[in-house]
Structure 1
Amino acid sequence: MTNFQNELEEAYAYCEKIIKRHSKSFYYAFSTLPKPKAKAVYAIYAFCRIADDSVDEHGNESEQWQALTKLENQLRLFEMNQEPNTLLWIALRDVFNRYDMKIQPFYDQISGQKTDILFQSPRDINELEHYCYLVAGSVGLMLLPIIATNERESLEEEAVHLGIAMQLTNILRDVGEDYRDKNRIYLPDSLRRKEGYTITDLQNSLINNSFIALWEELATRAEELYDLFQNKINAFDEDSQFPVLLSSQIYRGILGAVRKNNYNCLNKRNYVSAIEKQRIYRSVVTSTVRAESHKLEA
């Protein structure tokens, strides 16, 4: 191996370590991609994790802005082919060399993190979904050139749908944690008023009919978006359909976990168990095989 190849392998190993540590579900799904594609996904995840940590891992607003501004400046240098010679940017440069990537979703991701520094509860579902686009729908657009090489343009809407659905799922899983640890309420003001669920109720970790109705309204929207994405799964690259569908179904399973725990997402961490992941895995295998059979018959 040349020094460059060694450096590149080290860069991708660094990115893989980040996704493995921070998102077992994503790693579980995307590690089934062909290795070159999996590495590209790891690099994109690492960028998004570093952007997210710029806000969540710093204690005050000044440090958050400093960390996020540093990343944004590095992205601008990257856009001009003048990025720092660090592991993240070495890996991302290789991704941009191998795939027909667009830079704008990376800036959108940073814009989403800026909204968390200047956080205000969304007034309505439209504001919430715009935020979800910035921090997660943008990720779907980043991944498209890797997992839909021939249909990237036509699948942009579905990629955004999946990202928004996943972020809504995150929000519905972390209602209590976001309020308790970050003083953030992502539940839209208009929906809270409509269902009669107050901030005092949230402070008291009250799970009542109002909370369940509010939670289910957002969960139903997330499930609608998962369905819209899944309807187009056959348009993605054949070698990517299984991992993409698997990741979406595992994430969707978080909603079922919250329901199973009687909607306790205020002081309980909900997750998809290993047994449930295996069930989802088998289900996705079955649906993928069935789709292949229908394709051959046609």
Structure 2
Amino acid sequence: MMKPYTPSLENDYRICESIIKEHSKSFYYAFSSLPDLDAKAVYAIYAFCRMADDAIDHAEDAPERMENLRELESDLDDFIAGEPPNTPMWRALWDTCERYDIDASMLYAQIKGQEMDVNFEQPEDMKDLIHYSNHVAGSVGRLLLPILCDNPSAERKINAEKLGVAMQITNILRDVGEDMREHGRVYIPTSILRQHGCAMNQIEQGEIDQVFINVWEDLATHAEVFYDDFRSEIIHYKKEARLPLLLSLSVYREILNEVRKNGYDCFTKRNAVSMARKMKIRNEESQFLKKIIDA
């Protein structure tokens, strides 16, 4: 029998909610409208993923980053063994895993993805980029799947991963300059740079011309194909989850259009979707769902 919520557990979930609200306004806007239990579970999953991010973002050098990841992995080992650390995130995640069939291997995949960033190697091709993106973002799709879908079949799992990959590629295309300046990383595969004749020093200098635009659009096309493909998946999700999921998809996809509107400046601008546009997207997706239900 499931344990009832206690005031302490409610507070744990509120802390997780504050984390997603602070760090991902787009996800919070989309998923805060879920039924209460499902929304809380999403917040707990996000809080864990944020903790994995922070393990390397708040460290000063590679040895400290790896030490932080090993500590997180040790805490996860204890969690899997039935002895979760006594902190708000772990307590909320424990409750979530009791209520939903969460795939623990995807929690480890998150840590592995962060480790890949510590030992960063620029992807050679799309296969390499998708491999990395599956760890840091496809895993999130898999973690959320049993919360949002009553029948998480093998096909659902594959497509949930692809949506996560699309969102990660979007992150990469939004943050080209930030990743270069702050982390010395270029996630655009070298094969795509070579194909379009784009030199690495052009990325390092933030030079925007037609060559760079061609590179950017090449990678954007991969994300947009994944976004388009996922839309037919929506009928397999809980009715209450369909609009929030489409919102997260479409708001994230809209980031690509924001970069385009800003002249492909992903070097000096923080491209984001306005609340007015988010509200318009909500209306558009509500109409889309009505059409497929009435069809």
| Bin of the TM-score, shorter chain as denominator length | over 0.9
State the distance in 2 between where 1:42 and 1:119 align. Answer: 28
Q: What is the aligned partner in structure 2 of residue 261 from structure 1? A: 262
Distance 1:188 1:56 in 2: 23
Q: CA deviation at 1:152?
A: 4.1
Matches within 5 A, 1:27-106: 27-106=28-107
Identity %: 45
Match of 1:154 in 2: 155
Report the Cα distance in structure 1 between the residues aligned to 2:28 and 2:98, rounded to whole angstroms.
Answer: 23
Distance 1:201 1:277 in 2: 33
C-alpha separation in 1, matches of 2:256 and 2:289: 23
Tell me how large the CA RMSD over aligned residues is: 1.3
User: Whole-Å Cα distance in 2 between the matches of residues 141 and 225 of structure 1?
Assistant: 15
In the alignment, what sits opposite 1:15? 16
TM-superposed deviation, 1:11 = 0.9
CA distance in 1, matches of 2:276, 2:243: 19
Q: Provide the aligned length of Structure 1 versus Structure 2.
A: 293
**Matches of 1:8 and 1:281 in 2, distance apart?**
31
Post-superposition CA distance 1:29-54 (Å, at most 9, x none): 00010010000000000000110111
> In the alignment, residue 125 of structure 1 is paired with which amino acid?
M
- Could you say which residue in structure 2 is the equivalent of 1:5? 6
> What is the 5 A alignment of 1:161-176?
161-176=162-177
Q: Distance in 2 between matches of 1:29 and 1:68?
A: 29
Deviation at 1:3, TM superposition (A): 11
Q: 1:181 — aligned with what?
A: 182
Quote the residue 1:134 is aligned against: 135
Q: TM-score, normalised by structure 1?
A: 0.96
Pair 152,9 (structure 1): closer, same or farther in 2 beyond 3 Å: farther
Of 40-49 and 76-85, the range deviating more from structure 2: 76-85
Q: Tell me the distance in 2 between the aligned counterparts of 1:57 and 1:250.
A: 28
SS at structure 2 position matched to 1:28: helix
Deviation of 1:4 (Å): 6.8
* Aligned equivalents of 2:42, 2:122: Cα separation in 1: 31
**Contact 1:37–1:146, Cα closer than 8 Å, also in 2:** yes
How far off is 1:163 after superposition? Answer: 0.1
- SS across alignment from 2:6: helix
Shift of the alpha carbon at 1:203? 2.2
Q: Which amino acid in 1 is paired with 2:221?
A: T
Which amino acid in the other structure matches residue 167 of structure 1? Q
CA distance in 2, matches of 1:146, 1:78: 19
Q: Residues of 2 paired with 1:278 and 1:220: CA distance?
A: 25
Query: Could you list the runs of 5+ residues in structure 1 that have no partner in the other structure?
Result: none
**Mapped partners of 1:67, 1:7: distance in 2:** 27
Aligned to 2:213: 212
Offset of residue 281 of structure 1: 1.0
1:185-213 Cα offsets, whole Å, 9 max, x none, are: 00111111111111211222111111111
1:162-202 CA distance string (max 9 Å, x none): 00000000000000110011110001111111111112112
Q: Taking structure 1 as reference, are residues 59 and 10 closer, same or farther at Cα in structure 2, changes over 3 Å only?
A: same
Whole-angstrom CA distance in 2 between matches of 1:115 and 1:151: 28
Runs of 4+ off more than 6 Å: none
Question: What's 2:26 paired with?
Answer: 25
CA distance in 2 between partners of 1:80 and 1:174 (Å):
37
Could you tell me how far 1:153 is from its partner in structure 2? Answer: 3.6
Matched residue type, 2:240: D
For the residue of structure 1 that corresponds to 2:92, the secondary structure is helix
Aligned residue for 2:72, secondary structure, equals helix
Q: Is residue 249–residue 280 contact of structure 1 (8 Å, CA) maintained in 2?
A: yes
- 1:182-197 equivalent positions in 2, closer than 5 A: 182-197=183-198
Which moves more between the two structures, 20-29 or 3-12?
3-12
Residue 144 of structure 1 aligns to which amino acid in structure 2? L
Question: Secondary structure of 2:101's match?
Answer: coil
Q: Secondary structure at the match of 2:264?
A: coil
CA distance in 1: counterparts of 2:219 and 2:279, whole angstroms: 26
Match of 1:276 in 2: 277
Task: Return closer, same or farther for 1:42/1:4 CA change in 2, 3 Å cut-off.
Answer: closer
Greater alpha carbon shift after TM alignment, 84-93 vs 165-174: 84-93
Structure 1 window deviating more from structure 2 (215-224 vs 273-282): it is 273-282
Give the TM-score normalised by structure 2. 0.97
- Give the distance between the partners of 1:86 and 1:149, measured in 2 at CA: 29
Q: Distance in 2 between matches of 1:154 and 1:238?
A: 19
* 1:236 aligns to 2:224 (yes or no): no
